[in-house]
C-alpha cells in the first residue's frame, strides 16, 4: 500500500507541477491571474463531467452534504490541489525511519 501511495503521490505532484506551468503561461498571455479549477479538469477528463458525477454522488451521498462540499472543492485550483494531495500521499507512503543506536537490555 505504501508503494501505491508513493506512485500516485509522485504522479499527482508531477501533474500539479505541469498544471502550475500551464496556468502560469496562461496568466502571462492573458495579463491576468488564471487558474484551472478542479471542476474544469473533471469536465475535461470525465465524459459526463461534473453533472454526471453530481448525479451519481447524489444517489450515494446525502444531497445536503454534496452541495456545499462540491461548491467549495470544485472551485479550488487544480494544480495546487494536485500538489497538496500528492505531497500528502508521499508523506503517508514514506518508509518508516530506523531508530538510531540500539537498545541495551540486561
* 44 in the same domain as 18: no
Could you tell me if residue 46 is inside a domain? yes
For 55-92, the pLDDT digits (tens) are: 666 666 666 666 677 778 888 888 888 999 999 998 98
* 63 in the same domain as 84: no
Strand partners, 37: 77
What is the per-residue burial (b if ≥16 Cβ within 10 Å, else e) of 46-67?
Answer: eeeebeebbeebeeeeeeeeee
The number of folded domains in the chain is 2
* 64 in the same domain as 44: yes
* Three-state DSSP class for residue 37: strand
* 25 in the same domain as 10: yes
* 82 in the same domain as 70: no
* Three-state DSSP class for residue 3: helix
Per-residue confidence (pLDDT) for residue 66, from 0 to 100: 64
Is the whole-model pTM more than 0.85?
A: no
For 12-65, the pLDDT digits (tens) are: 999 999 999 998 999 999 998 888 888 888 888 877 776 766 666 666 666 666
CA distance 40 to 91: 27
User: 58 lies in which domain range?
Assistant: 37-76
Amino acid at each position: 500500500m505504501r508503494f501505491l501511495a508513493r506512485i500516485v503521490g509522485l504522479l499527482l505532484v508531477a501533474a500539479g507541477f505541469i498544471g502550475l506551468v500551464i496556468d502560469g503561461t496562461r496568466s502571462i498571455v492573458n495579463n491576468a491571474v488564471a487558474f484551472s479549477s478542479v471542476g474544469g479538469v473533471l469536465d475535461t477528463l470525465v465524459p459526463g463531467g461534473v453533472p454526471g458525477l453530481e448525479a451519481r454522488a447524489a444517489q450515494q451521498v446525502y444531497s445536503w452534504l454534496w452541495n456545499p462540499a462540491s461548491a467549495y472543492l470544485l472551485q479550488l485550483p487544480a494544480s495546487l490541489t494536485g500538489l497538496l494531495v500528492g505531497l500528502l500521499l508521499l508523506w503517508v507512503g514514506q518508509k518508516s525511519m530506523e531508530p538510531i543506536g540500539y537498545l541495551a537490555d540486561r
